[in-house]
Amino acid sequence: MGKQRTNQPRRKKKKKGDLLLTLALIAAIAVFCFAAYNLFHIYTEYKKGTDEYNHIEQMAVTDRAPEDEELVDAVSEPKPPISVDFDTLKSVNPDVVGWIYIEALDNINYPVVQGDDNETYLHTTYENNYNFAGTIFVDYENSSDFSDCNTLIYGHNMKNGSMFGNLKKFTEDQSTYEKSKYFWILTPEKNYRYEIISAYTTGVNSDTYTLFKGPGEEYLNYLNTIQGYSEIKTEATELTVKDKIVTLSTCTGNEATRFVVQGKQVNAEPAG
C-alpha cells in the first residue's frame, strides 16, 4: 500500500505535464491556422484587385500599332503609346477622369477617378468593390481636367507592385528615370504628357501637397523648392509660373511619410 501511495503523485504530475504540452500544441496550431488564413485572405485580395484591373485594361485600352510610330516624324508631337475607350470606362464608373501610363514602369497603367472626398476610393475599386488596392484618384479639391497648377494623384503602395507599388523604383535606381522620364495622363478631351522633374520622400503634411488658386510668385517659389527636394538627378528643366505639374503620391510603410514623383506638363494634344 505504501508503494501505491508514492506512485500516485508522479502520475498526477505526468498528466499535468501532458495537458500543458497538449494545450501548447493546440495554441501553436491555432496561431498557424490564423496566420495561414490571413495570408490566404491577403493573396485573394491582391488577386481580385489585379484581375479586375487587368480586365478593365483589356476592355478599354489598345496599344498603338508600331506602324503608327513610323508616321510620326521628328517634328511631330509624340503620341501616347496607348489609346483609351472612355465611353466604355464611363459605362462602368462615371467618376473616371483619366488614365495614367508611366513609360518606365509598364505595370502603372490604370484608370484615374475623382470622388466627392479623398476617402471613397482608398479601398474601393473601379468597379465599386471593396479591396485593399482601391483606385488611383485625383484629390477632390482639384479640377477634374488637370488644369490646376498642382494636381495631386494618390495610389496605394501595394506589396505585389500593383497600383503605385513600383513608383519608388525611380529613387531606388537612377536607370529607371534614364529609361524614360515621361508619363502620360489621357483624358476624354486631351492627352497630356509629363516630364519627371523630381522624385523624393516627404512628410504627410509637407508643402508638396499645396494647392494653388492660380499662378504667381508663391507657386514659382514652390516649383524651385520641389526641384531641390529630388533624390534623383533629373535634367535641368526651367520652370515658370505657366507650368502645370502633377504630383503622384503613395505611402512608404511609415505613416509619417509619403513617396512622390512630380512631373511637368510638356505637351497636350486633342484626344482621338
Q: For residue range 18-75, what is the model confidence (pLDDT) as tens digits?
A: 777 776 777 777 676 666 545 545 556 667 778 899 999 999 999 876 545 444 444 4
Q: What is the pLDDT of residue 42?
A: 53
In the chain, how many H helices and how many E strands? 6, 10
**Phi and psi of 57, rounded to 5°?**
-60, -45
Q: Residue 71 has what pLDDT?
A: 46
For the chain, the structural domain boundaries read 48-270
* Strands 182-186 vs 150-154: parallel, antiparallel or unpaired: unpaired
Sign, Cα dihedral of 127, 128, 131, 136: positive
Higher pLDDT, 47 or 84: 84
Q: What whole-number distance in Å separates Cα of residue 111 and Cα of residue 86?
A: 10
Asked if 138 and 145 touch (Cβ cutoff 8 Å), the reply is no
Which helix (H) or strand (E) covers residue 41, if one does?
A: helix 2-60
Q: Say whether pLDDT at 2 is over 60.
A: no
Task: Tell me yes or no: is domain 48-270 CATH 2.40.260.10.
Answer: yes
- Residue 38, pLDDT score: 59
pLDDT tens-digit series, residues 122-162: 999 999 999 989 999 999 999 999 999 999 999 999 989 99
Structure-block grid coordinates of residue 140: 477632390
Secondary structure of 47-97 in the HEC alphabet?
A: HHHHHHHHHHHHHHEEECCHHHHHCCCCCCCCCCCEEECHHHHHHHCCCEE
What mean pLDDT is predicted for residues 171-184? Answer: 95
Q: How many residues does the chain have?
A: 272
Q: What is the mean pLDDT of residues 169-179?
A: 95
Cell numbers that stand for 25 in this block: 500544441
Question: Which three three-digit cell numbers place residue 245?
Answer: 505639374
Model confidence at 185, pLDDT cuts 50, 70, 90, reads very high
Residue 1: its pLDDT value, please?
Answer: 45
The grid coordinates listed for 43 are 493573396
Residue 236: its pLDDT value, please?
72
Stated as kind and residue range, the H or E segment containing 42 is: helix 2-60
pLDDT at position 29, please? Answer: 73
> How far, in Å, are 45, 98, 181, 265 from residue 193 at the CA level?
32, 13, 10, 6
How confident is the model at residue 22, as a pLDDT? 73
